[in-house]
Each structure stands twice: as C-alpha cells, then as structure tokens.
C-alpha cells in the first residue's frame, strides 16, 4: 500500500490557482488531496470518489462554496466540510456554520497550524459519521 493511500483524503476547492498550489506544497505530506478550481469540477470529483474532508472557498464564480456544499452534502453526507474565506462576517457563511453544513470557518490568510487543527477535528467528525452510518445500516438489515 502506498503512503498516499493511508493519508486522509481531502477535496480542496478554490478558484485561485495560486491558493491551490500553495495548499499542494504546504500539505502534500499530510493529506492525499484532490483539487478543483470550480464547484462544478469539485462536484464531479465527489461523484467519483469519497473524501474525508472538503476545504471549500466561499467566493467562487458561478457557484459559491455554500451552494456547492448544499449540493454535495446529499451526495456525501459523511464528508466533513470546512469553509475558507476572507468574508467570515457574511450572513450566508454564518448560517452555513450555524446549520452544521460547515464544521469550521478558516479565515484567509490561513496558517498551517490552524488548518492542521481544523482538519484534524473534521477528520474525527467524518470518522464518527461513517461509524454511525455503518451502525444504522447494520440495524436496518436486522
């Protein structure tokens, strides 16, 4: 088994190529990452593979991060989601957090240690969701 196979799987969504490149360089040893520069591409990736955590930029053209997370949450209910934004005071971002759609808001510019801490928390949530889902499926079979 390759080292990448044992790493947590992250979906990183940001329309700024520089942000994706920075994330790739800074966290390449910590996570197995897939990158999307649009919500449409991210949704396409999520239909083909499971991710433990999604880190999604709020401000993107065509579809903002909250709209994307509403769509993908029905497809991947176990995936924990973190919002990256410089607009943490927006009502839509606050509501996404308050409703549980987003488990954390990472303010830009972010720092490595903050991202590692938030992702670690999100990974625990994702793992718990998977365990509960498996338990519900097991009970439903009996």
Residue 4 — pLDDT band, cuts 50, 70, 90? Answer: low
Residue 22 — pLDDT band, cuts 50, 70, 90? Answer: very high
Residue 119 tokens read as 């992702």
pTM equals 0.85
Average pLDDT over residues 43-57: 96
> Is the pLDDT confidence value at 76 over 80?
yes
Taking each helix axis as running N to C, give the angle between helix 91-98 and helix 65-75, from 0 to 180 degrees, rounded to the nearest 10. 20
Q: What percent of the chain has pLDDT over 90?
A: 62
- 44 vs 1 pLDDT, higher one: 44
* Domain boundaries, given as residue ranges, for the chain: 3-141
Span 3-141: which CATH code? Answer: 3.40.50.2300
Q: Is 126 helix (H, G, I), strand (E, B) or coil?
A: helix
């Amino acid at each position: 088994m390759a080292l990448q196979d044992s790493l947590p799987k992250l979906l990183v969504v940001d329309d700024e190529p520089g942000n994706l490149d920075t994330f790739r360089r800074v966290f390449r040893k910590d996570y197995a990452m897939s990158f999307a520069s649009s919500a449409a591409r991210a949704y396409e990736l999520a239909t083909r593979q499971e991710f433990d955590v999604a880190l999604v930029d709020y401000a993107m053209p065509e579809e903002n991060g909250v709209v994307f997370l509403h769509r993908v949450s029905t497809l991947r209910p176990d995936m924990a989601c973190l919002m990256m934004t410089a607009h943490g005071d927006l009502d839509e971002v606050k509501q996404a957090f308050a409703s549980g759609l987003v488990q954390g808001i990472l303010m830009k510019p972010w720092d490595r240690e903050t991202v590692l801490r938030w992702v670690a928390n999100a990974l625990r949530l994702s793992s718990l969701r998977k365990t509960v889902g498996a338990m519900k499926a097991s009970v439903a079979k009996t």
